[in-house]
Each structure stands twice: as C-alpha cells, then as structure tokens.
Amino acid sequence: MTNNRVTDEVLIKEFQNGNRNSYTQLVTRYRDKIISFLYRYMHDMDSAEDLAQETFFKVYLKKDSYKETYKFSTWLFTIASNLAKTELRKLKRRKTSSISDINEDGSSENIFVDEDNTEKSSNNESKILQKALSELEHDYKIIIILREIQELSYDVISKILQLPLGTVKSRINRGKLKLREILMNYGVKNYK
C-alpha cells in the first residue's frame, strides 16, 4: 500500500513559500502530540495549551529559520521544549509543587497490584506516574517524555536537546531510577 501523505518537510517548504494552508495542516497534524508533550511536562492542561499555541505561533513567525538539515518534528519539539523549560522555571519561582492531590486517602500503596479492577488500576497508574514524572528534574523528565511517551529516537532527542548521544542514554537510565525512587516515596512498593 502506498502512502500518499505529504511529508512535514514538503508542507513546511510550501509554507515558507507563502502557503498558509500547509501551515494549518502541520498544526492539525502535530496539535495533539505537542499538547500531550507539554502536558506531561507541565502537568497542567491550561499551561500546555497556552504553550502549544505559543509553539505554533513561533513556527509561524520563524518559518524561515527552519532548515532542511533537521526533520520538521525535531525543530518543532525543540521550540516546544525550550518554551516549556522557560515557563517551568518561571513557575518554580512562584510556587512549590504538592503531591497531596495524588490520593486523598493515602491509598497509593499497592496501586500497581490491583488486579480486580484493571481499568481503575490503569488510570491510577497513569495518574501517579504522571505526577511522579512532574516531580523529576527537568534534565531527566524531558528525556523520559521524549523517549518513552513521544517515542522519539535517541538520535532525534540528542538533536533536540543538543546533547551527546551517550549523555541522553545515561540520563534516561538515571531518570528512570529517580522516577522509581519518587514512586517509592509515594508509597508505591509492590509492583506487579
């Protein structure tokens, strides 16, 4: 089966030549991915949407800065991660995070071994994991999101974050270890 989908790189080229419809196609194509990425990073839906708007607006303004040497998605995620990093830094100055909203009854323990209600258990897992992820330091968090949730290659992540491949691999392992520590601090002790 042939894939007739126009590539991102063709669309951005058309947009650079003045076709705004191509820009809208790119926005529609990446809207959910960017919002999800930003939500995982910010742990706040409003901020995620605002930053996603800002990301695509920057793409519009800086369209001529895009060079074909990188994939469009790499460029897009670079803009989004830079904006998110700046925003989180601003927010951290204003408030400190709390974990009190995870489980009001403190029942996070054993949450990963609830086999009677798989759907409920799965939702709880995601919720706790998402919260734990938000507690991670930026350097670890961003790599884990890009790799494990957005499923980008190490090579692409290394380009987005402008880090050597070895550092990316090392951070992903250390990040996962730290994520496990955070989860254990939440009381998640018994994994399946």
Partner 1 sequence: MIDNKYLEKITDYIENTLSKTDKTEFELYMNKDSEFKKIVEDIKINTLTLKKLEDIEGPSDFVYKLNQRIDEYENNTIFNQLSSMVSNIFSKSDTFTLLFGASLILIVSFSFFKFSSFGGYNNIVDTNDFNDSSIAINDSDSLNVEDPVLLLGNDK
Residues that bind partner 1 (CB under 8 A): 24, 27-28, 31-33, 35-36, 39-40, 45, 48-49, 52-53, 56-57, 60-61, 112, 122, 125-126, 129-130, 133, 144, 148-149, 151, 169-170, 172-174, 176-177, 179-180, 183, 191-192
Write down the least CB distance from residue 2 to partner 1, Å.
Answer: 26
Q: How far, in Å, CA of 100 to CA of 84, rounded?
A: 24
Write down the least CB distance from residue 116 to partner 1, Å.
Answer: 18
Q: How far, in Å, CA of 8 to CA of 29, rounded?
A: 9
Closest CA to 89 of 41, 127, 49, 50: 41
Nearer to partner 1, 89 or 123 (CB): 123
Write down the least CB distance from residue 48 to partner 1, Å.
Answer: 8
Nearer to partner 1, 69 or 173 (CB): 173
Structure tokens at 106: 């403190």
Nearer to partner 1, 65 or 173 (CB): 173
Nearer to partner 1, 74 or 124 (CB): 124
Nearer to partner 1, 49 or 139 (CB): 49
How far are the Cα atoms of 139, 140, 156, 158 from residue 163, in angstroms, in the given order?
11, 13, 10, 5
CA angle 75, 42, 59 (to 5 degrees): 25
Q: Cα 13 from chain centroid?
A: 26
Residue type, 142: I
Write down the least CB distance from residue 71 to partner 1, Å.
Answer: 19
Q: How far, in Å, CA of 87 to CA of 81, rounded?
A: 10
Write down the least CB distance from residue 151 to partner 1, Å.
Answer: 7
